[in-house]
């Protein structure tokens, strides 16, 4: 379901909300699989969030390393449509904490 939704998002001229949601969730799962850990929380509201990247495990409250971005920016970063430094410089990504730089893990596909 996730890969098919991602393909529809990438090929579509218009985006169906269900396809975008599924693509975001699929790509978040891919990030967690490729960068396992619990030191960074990546949030893509309203569709999902994952913890990833090796390092000190976070268990309570707001994590010290947080990345938050909108769904289209996340999909673009994950598939290589835009790069991390550009997205950060343009204010499309809010990243806090010393481990919140995901450039080493992107693009995912």
pTM of the model: 0.85
What tokens were used for 95? 């990243």
| 17-72 confidence digits (pLDDT tens) | 888 899 999 999 999 999 999 899 999 999 999 999 998 776 677 778 999 999 99
| Domains of the chain, residue spans | 2-96
- Tell whether the model's pLDDT for residue 15 goes beyond 80: no
Name the one residue in this structure whose structure tokens are 């969730």: 25
Residues in a beta bridge with 48: 44
pLDDT at 1 over 50: no
Question: pLDDT (tens digit, 9 = 90+) per residue, 71-81?
Answer: 999 999 999 98
Q: What region, left, alpha or beta, does residue 66 occupy, with left being phi > 0 and alpha being psi -120 to 50 degrees?
A: beta
Residues 8-18, mean pLDDT to the nearest whole number: 69
Q: Which residues pair with 68 in a beta bridge?
A: 43, 94
The CATH code of domain 2-96 reads: 3.30.1050.40
């Amino acid at each position: 379901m996730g890969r098919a939704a991602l393909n529809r998002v990438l090929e579509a001229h218009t985006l169906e909300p269900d396809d975008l949601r599924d693509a975001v969730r699929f790509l978040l799962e891919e990030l967690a699989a490729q960068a396992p850990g619990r030191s960074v929380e990546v949030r893509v509201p309203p569709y999902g969030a994952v913890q990833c990247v090796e390092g000190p495990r976070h268990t309570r409250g707001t994590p010290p390393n947080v990345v938050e971005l909108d769904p289209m920016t996340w999909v673009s970063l994950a598939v290589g449509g835009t790069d991390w430094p550009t997205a950060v410089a343009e204010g499309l990504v809010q990243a806090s904490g010393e481990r919140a730089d995901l450039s080493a893990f992107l693009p995912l596909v």
